[in-house]
Structures are given as structure tokens and as C-alpha cells.
């Protein structure tokens, strides 16, 4: 998963590196999965528009607000929150899609999330020592 590169950048205090990987690699995959979820929910009867511009019309207010959190990246704390929210939203959407399309959903992402959470803790401990 590319999200490990985001966490690597955050741990190394390379916010631009982390932001680029979040915005150009993690977000596109998240948005595609959310689009598939919306498509399944609407029997693929509508378009969410170029660059997902109508996405807000087809997801709940809560999901939309959570998605907006993933675009806040002006501090390391916001970037960590954005990354974890991306994981959460992606997992929810992909489990839904897998279930509806009758695919098994392997829980490999749980290991990635556990690893990234450990990096977050490690990063915070190092920040306190500085």
C-alpha cells in the first residue's frame, strides 16, 4: 500500500513528500472505491461527474465530512488524521463493494493499519523527546 509512504514521510518530517503520496496515490484509489460503492447503490444509473465533482450528492453527510478531513494537510497532525480517515473510508467502501459483488475481502489492510499506527506512536514519542 502506498499509505506506508505517507507515514514514512510524516515520520521523517517530510510533509510535502507525504502530501504528494496522499493526494496523488491514496486519494485516487479511495475515490474510485467510493465511486464503485455509489454505483452499486444506484445500480450504476448516474454519473458522479468528472473528477468526482458530484460525489457530495450521493454520499451521506457524515461520509462527506469524513472525506473532507482527508484533504486537510497543513500540519503533521492533520496529515495523520487524514491518512487514518482514508484507511477507514476505503475499508468501509471496499468491504461493501466486495460483499455486493460476492468477493472475499481479505483483511490484509489490518496489518498495514497496525503498522502505520505504530509509526504514528513512534513519531509522537520522538516529537516529545525533541
pLDDT single digits (tens) 17-62? 999 999 999 999 999 999 999 999 999 999 999 999 999 999 999 9
Q: Give the three-state DSSP class for 74.
A: coil
Distance from the Cα of residue 85 to its chain's centroid: 5
What one-character DSSP code corresponds to residue 75?
Answer: S
Compute the average pLDDT of residues 89-95. Answer: 97
- Whole-prediction pTM value? 0.91
Domain membership of residue 124 as a residue range: 3-129
Q: Tally the domains of the chain.
A: 1
> CA nearest 116: which of 1, 30, 7, 2?
7
Checking if the pLDDT of 69 tops 50, the result is yes
Distance from the Cα of residue 37 to its chain's centroid: 15
Using CA atoms, how far residue 29 sits from 33, 85, 86, 119, 121, in Å, is 6, 13, 10, 22, 26
Q: For residue 102, what is the domain's CATH number?
A: 1.20.120.330
The three cell numbers locating residue 2: 502506498
Reported as a pLDDT band with limits 50, 70 and 90, residue 130 is very low
Amino acid at each position: 500500500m502506498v499509505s506506508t509512504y505517507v507515514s514514512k514521510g510524516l515520520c521523517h518530517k517530510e510533509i510535502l513528500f507525504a502530501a504528494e503520496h496522499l493526494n496523488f496515490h491514496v486519494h485516487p484509489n479511495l475515490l474510485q472505491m467510493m465511486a464503485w460503492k455509489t454505483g452499486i447503490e444506484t445500480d450504476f444509473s448516474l454519473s458522479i461527474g468528472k473528477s468526482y465533482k458530484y460525489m457530495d450528492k450521493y454520499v451521506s453527510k457524515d461520509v462527506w465530512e469524513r472525506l473532507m478531513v482527508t484533504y486537510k494537510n497543513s500540519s503533521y497532525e492533520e496529515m495523520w488524521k487524514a491518512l487514518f480517515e482514508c484507511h477507514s473510508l476505503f475499508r468501509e467502501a471496499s468491504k461493501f463493494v466486495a460483499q455486493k459483488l460476492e468477493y472475499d475481502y481479505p483483511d490484509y489492510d489490518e496489518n498495514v493499519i497496525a503498522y502505520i499506527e505504530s509509526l504514528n506512536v513512534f513519531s509522537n514519542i520522538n516529537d516529545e523527546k525533541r
